[in-house]
Amino acid sequence: MRTLLLTRSQVETLLDPASLVERLRAGFVAYSATASERARRVRAAIPGSPGTATVLFPGTVPGVPVYTVKVHAKFPSETPAIRGVLCLHDLATGALLAVMDSTYLTAIRTGAAGALAAHVLARPDSDRVAVIGAGVQGTFQLRSLAKLRTLRRVWVYDVVPEHAEAFAKAMAQELALPVQTVLSPSYAVQQADIVLMATWSRVPIIIPGMLSSGVHVTTLGPDEPGKAEVAAEVIRAGLFVCDDRALAVELGALGGVGLGPEAANAELGEVLCGRHPGRTSSDQITIYGGVGLAFQDAVAAWQVYDTARAGGLGSEIDFLG
């Protein structure tokens, strides 16, 4: 049995963000329909290191004959901040089909999921976007959202002004949109009807009174205990949708501000399949908090592997030889 090895640049070439969104949509629906078969997300501090290690497993999707085990670590001061590998296995035999860099794959599938949630939960006419956090996730969320709906204007804030400036210049050119840097997150949020967040914050950035009626917020920063971007009062006052109820409390947007599972109104899969109506009025504030799920890795990795095999890309190694 030979295993396919794929580098970051190869994964970037092989992964198609446009087709990934619809596969993720189906995956979220399937995930919320099988509440008894939840994948695991295990996190631990690395002794003697500023990083944290996380394992997501097993990633499975109905109709796809593989499962994934992803191991990565977060080092906030490094670029990229998340580094790791993903192992793709045959679902029937456990054979190791591929080992691939997980950095780009994780960024793409996370941004696409956040944008999908924003598109589904925001008002149909929402076209003004605030981006809080001008990093990798801010970029991929905005890029993915621009493929789902027509946007008119963008405001961006980052604690490092130079990052915001670079983001504004790159995104304005790529998306042919006016992108303006601002000096405070509150100003950016006040201009927008969709807010995309992905920061390292451990205290709420969005507090009561900051949001206008009808705004949607996607908050992806809280993905480990202690992180928070949206205050508890704001979450309680709006419609809160998550990818997984238990994980939202354990290490996501709810637990980070001391809220329990009762604060989650629905999972994204329940909204996508119509079991929950999602937004019910134009003045309702909606919030999506996602931590990232193993099935998302399986969706993306299977696309990469399938395309690589068809095109004869990557190198091979026999780990059992």
Whether residue 119 is found in the same domain as residue 225: yes
For residues 14 and 131, what is the distance between their CA atoms, to the nearest angstrom? 27
Whether residue 143 is found in the same domain as residue 283: yes
For residue 1, the model assigns a pLDDT of 81
**For the chain, percent of residues with pLDDT exceeding 70:** 100
Whether residue 135 is found in the same domain as residue 164: yes
| Secondary structure in 3-state letters for the chain | CCEEEECHHHHHHHCCHHHHHHHHHHHHHHHHHCCCCCCEEEEEECCCCCCEEEEEEEECCCCCCEEEEEEEEECCCCCCCEEEEEEEEECCCCCEEEEEECHHHHHHHHHHHHHHHHHHHCCCCCCEEEEECCCHHHHHHHHHHHHHCCCCEEEEECCCHHHHHHHHHHHHHHHCCCEEECCCHHHHHHHCCEEEECCCCCCCCECCCCCCCCCEEEECCCCCCCCCCECHHHHHHCEEEECCHHHHHHCCCCHHHCCCHHHCCEEHHHHHCCCCCCCCCCCCCEEEECCCCHHHHHHHHHHHHHHHHHHCCCEEECCCC
For residue 15, the model assigns a pLDDT of 96
- Residue 129 — very low, low, confident or very high, per pLDDT cuts 50/70/90? very high
Q: What φ, ψ does residue 134 adopt, rounded to 5°? A: -95, 45
- Residue 37 — very low, low, confident or very high, per pLDDT cuts 50/70/90? confident
- In order of 2, 5, 93, 99, 318, the CA distances from 321 in angstroms are 9, 15, 18, 16, 5
Whether residue 29 is found in the same domain as residue 153: no
Q: Is the pTM of this model over 0.85?
A: yes
Which of 37, 75, 76 lies closest to 57 in space, CA to CA?
37
Whether residue 153 is found in the same domain as residue 17: no
Whether residue 100 is found in the same domain as residue 124: no
Whether residue 136 is found in the same domain as residue 209: yes
Total number of domains constituting the chain: 2
For residue 18, the model assigns a pLDDT of 86
Mean pLDDT to the nearest integer, 64-82: 93
- Position 231 pLDDT exceeds 90: yes
- Residue 199 — very low, low, confident or very high, per pLDDT cuts 50/70/90? very high
- Position 79 pLDDT exceeds 90: no
247, amino acid identity:
L
Give the contacts of 183 (CB within 8 A, at least 6 positions apart).
Answer: 157, 161
C-beta of residue 41 within 8 angstroms of C-beta of residue 251:
yes
For residue 321, the model assigns a pLDDT of 85
**What is the domain-level CATH number for residue 141?**
3.40.50.720
Mean pLDDT to the nearest integer, 63-91: 94
Whether residue 10 is found in the same domain as residue 120: no
Whether residue 87 is found in the same domain as residue 14: yes
Q: What residue numbers bound the domain in which 100 lies?
A: 3-106+294-317
- Position 19 pLDDT exceeds 80: yes
Let me know the angle formed at the C-alpha of 151 by 150 and 153, rounded to the nearest 5 degrees: 160
- In order of 100, 103, 126, 137, 225, the CA distances from 8 in angstroms are 7, 7, 34, 17, 28
Q: What is the mean pLDDT of the chain?
A: 96
Whether residue 189 is found in the same domain as residue 122: yes
For residues 162 and 151, what is the distance between their CA atoms, to the nearest angstrom? 24
**What is the domain-level CATH number for residue 18?**
3.30.1780.10
Whether residue 134 is found in the same domain as residue 255: yes
- Position 25 pLDDT exceeds 80: yes
- Position 100 pLDDT exceeds 80: yes
- Position 38 pLDDT exceeds 90: no
| Beta strands at 239-242 and 216-219: parallel, antiparallel or unpaired | unpaired
Give the contacts of 79 (CB within 8 A, at least 6 positions apart).
Answer: none
Cβ of 152: how many Cβ atoms within 10 Å? 11
For residues 241 and 290, what is the distance between their CA atoms, to the nearest angstrom? 8
Whether residue 161 is found in the same domain as residue 264: yes
Cβ of 51: how many Cβ atoms within 10 Å? 18
